Each structure stands twice: as C-alpha cells, then as structure tokens.
Amino acid sequence: MKERLIAGLDLGSAFIRLAVGQVSLGSDKRESLNMIGAVEVPSQGISKGGVSSLEDVVSSISGCLEQMERQIGLPIDEAYIGLGGPFVQVQLAKGVIGVSRVDGEIRDEDVQRVLETTRSVVNPINYEILHVLPRTFIVDGQVGVKDPIGMQGIRLEVEAHIVQGLAAPVRNITKAVFRTGLDVTELVFTALAAAEIVTTSRQRELGTAVICMGAATTSLVVYEEGELLHASVIPIGSDHITSDIAIGLRTSLEAAERFKKSFACANAATVHKSEEIDLRDLGAEQSEIVSARFVSDIAQARVEEIFERVEKELKKIERSGMLPAGVILTGGGVKLRGIADVAKEMLRLPVSLGSAANVPTPLIEIVQDPGFSTAIGLVHWGYENERLGRTPTGGRASKNGGDFMKKFSSPLKKLFKSFIP
C-alpha cells in the first residue's frame, strides 16, 4: 500500500507554516500518522487573516512549499488550508426533516439531509460555509441524541454550528493557494484545527476552552460534552503588544519585537525593577536604557485586554469560571513569558500552554512549539477526516461517502479556480 501524505498550511499574518504527515501501515497492519516535515517562512501580503497583496502571498506560499519539498524529498500536491481572522463567524442553526424510510429507521442520508437544511437557514450570499458541526439531534422530541443513526423515528431535528467565512477573503486566499499549483483539500477554521491537536476527548467532554493567539487575532473555541459549544474571533493579537511596546519606547517595531521575545513578561510583578536593557543591543539606532518592568507593564495591559474580551465571551454562554478542564493557550502569541499566570487570574480557571507534543515525530522541537499547533492540527484534522469518513463540511460521510464529499468540494474548487487568470 502506498504511504499517503497529508499537508496542513497555516496562513498567518506573521508566519506561514506548513506541516506534513505521512500515513503508513505498521507491522500490526494498523494505520498511523507520523509527522515528517514542518517549515515556516515570514508571511508577506496577509493582514488579519486576509489577503492584502496577492502576489506577495503567492510568493510566500511558494517559498514555503519549496522548503518543505527539499526537507522531505517528496512533492506536495494538495493541503488542508487554515482560515482565521475576523471575517470568519460561527452561528447556531436548526434544521428539521421527516425520516424518509417507511420503517422509520434513521440512516446516514437522513442525517446528511437534516444537516443540509441548516445551511439554507444561514447562507447569506456573501458568505461561504466552511463547516456544519452538529451539536445535538432531536428524534421525535427526544433531546440530547448524539448519534441518531439506527434509531427509530418520524421527525429528525438538529442543532448545528455553522462556520462561515466572508466570500471575498475566502476566495482571495484560495486563489493565492491555487496559483502556487497546490490544490485545496479543505478549508478549515484555524481554531478548530488547533483545538483538534491540543485537547483530548476527555477534556472536550468535561468542558474546555482553547485560546489560539496569533499575530493579528485571537480565536476562542469552547467545548462541552464532546461538542463545540461556542466560537468567536477577537481582533487583537500579539502584534498589538509589539506595537504598544514600540510606541511606549519610541523605537522601531523590530526592536520592540526583540524586546518582547527576550525580556518582556505578561506578569509584570515578577520582573525586577532594577532590570534594564540598552535598546541599541536590540537593533535600535540610538543607545537608550529602558526598564524591563516598564515594558512588561505595557505588555500586561494589552494581554489583560485580550483576556477581558475572552471573559466576556464566556459570560455570554454562562461558562465564566465554569469549565472543569480549564483553558488551553496555543498559537505563536502565547510564547510571551507569564501569559498563563495572567490568564489564570483573569479567567479564574486552570490554564496550561498547549502544543502538539503527543504527535509521533522526530521533529520534537517543532511539535512542542505552540506556533505550529494549527499547522499540525490541520494535518490531524485531515487524517481524522479520512479515518472517520467526515465530510468537508464537518459532518459524517455516508457509506458511499466519497460521493457526498465530492458533491460539496468539487463545485467549490471549480468556483475558486474560476478566479485564477
């Protein structure tokens, strides 16, 4: 059997990261996923998850692909593409159908039909639906059904989360990917991909929140009873911390970024008042001695603002301080020292830093980097799609599931490719 490659491409505002996993059969004839490659390049032409310069994005993705193909020695033809940013929104929708069979047995096709009805409820013409994620089913008034297949009933209802992206940004990103010669396997909301790899099924069952902090935005997803409960995108990220430091020190963004990475701390109280740094050592044009405590105060103020926004989202769904499995922080922005302490104090929940550390791979340093959690999560998302027969919209495929997947993915690919000159 030929070993398959699964690629995940995370198009961030600061970095473009690409991870590749290989699916192979072990000696026990069981499939396993092994990460064989991961690269990152500076992101050009992407702002807040959207395209600001098409040519720059194409160039950045092409450079990332070239590095990866040299690293693994194999060509990459398609990838799962991560989409984030404020143009992605999540909405709860309901659908209802009558069961088609005379004997009343609910089959795969009934589940797919009821999920399809939710699309028509929330499908504005300027949005593209990325995922339809069933939250719960209702069979003849019986609530709380997780999997209705095989049950008897006449009326089947569903509550589902619809993840959708504003059409123009989605099409521009997809167009940029196609222009590199890379095919799009599926478009995936980045926060869902990251959560796939940094949480366990036990945590999602008990109730947990994943906060994915990128350069321009911070995404939040909340799980309970194994299903997505809430998701949102906050338009503040780690670049805002850098900008605040640059303004406070009246220095360049480059020097501010180096200061943030090396000396700043989100928990300013832990920084000694006597600790001082010369900005010239960090690349500034002129020598100036600044206090690390002063810079940490600036960073802490912005970090607190982010977690205040997260707390508001948790209050909306009545889960403030009430998630037994706590909060998991991931994404490149959570590398700031002391950020977990601030989150723990403000959210009143246990907090940990999440990464893809449990993924089999020789690339230990890469999988332990929270910045790669989305790219690796995309690979894992693709592997689970194939293994469990999930459809590109997040539902479950029928027994002849390939046809159903093609039904939705092929028209989208044709639509997106039509925008390529």
pLDDT tens, position by position, 242-276 = 999 999 999 999 999 999 999 999 999 999 988 99
pTM of the model: 0.88
Q: Evaluate whether 17 touches 55 at the Cβ level (below 8 Å).
A: no
At residue 27, the 3 state secondary structure works out as coil
Rounded average pLDDT over 380-389: 85
Q: Which of 191, 195, 121, 198 is nearest to 162 (CA)?
A: 121
Tell me the CATH number of domain 4-84+167-189+359-417, given options 1.20.1070.10, 3.90.950.10, 3.10.105.10, 3.30.420.40. Answer: 3.30.420.40
Q: How far apart are CA 65 and CA 75, in angstroms?
A: 9
Residue 393 pLDDT exceeds 60: no
Answer yes or no: are the C-beta atoms of 256 and 284 closer than 8 Å: no
CB atoms within 10 A of CB 320: 16
Give phi and psi for 164, each to the nearest 5.
-135, 150
**According to the model, what pLDDT value does residue 293 have?**
95
Tell me the per-residue pLDDT of 116-130, one tens digit each, with 9 for 90 and over: 999 887 767 788 899
On average, the pLDDT of the chain sits at 88
User: Higher pLDDT residue, 409 or 82?
Assistant: 82
According to CATH, what is the number of the domain 88-165?
3.30.1490.110
Q: How far apart are CA 209 and CA 221, in angstroms?
A: 6
Residue 319 near residue 220 (C-beta atoms within 8 A): no
Tens of pLDDT, residues 149-170:
999 999 999 999 999 999 999 9
pLDDT greater than 60 at residue 404: no
Q: Write the DSSP string, 226-252.
A: TEEEEEEEES--HHHHHHHHHHHHT--
Residue 410: its pLDDT value, please?
A: 47
Alpha helices in 26-107 (DSSP H): 54-72
Domain ranges, ordered by start, for the chain: 4-84+167-189+359-417, 88-165
Q: Are 378 and 80 in contact (CB under 8 A)?
A: yes
- Model confidence over 170-210: pLDDT tens digits? 999 999 999 999 999 999 999 999 998 999 999 999 999 99
Residue 359 confidence (pLDDT): 75
- Tell me what pLDDT residue 398 has: 35
Q: Residue 8 has what pLDDT?
A: 97
According to DSSP, the residues that pair with 159 across neighbouring strands are 94, 136
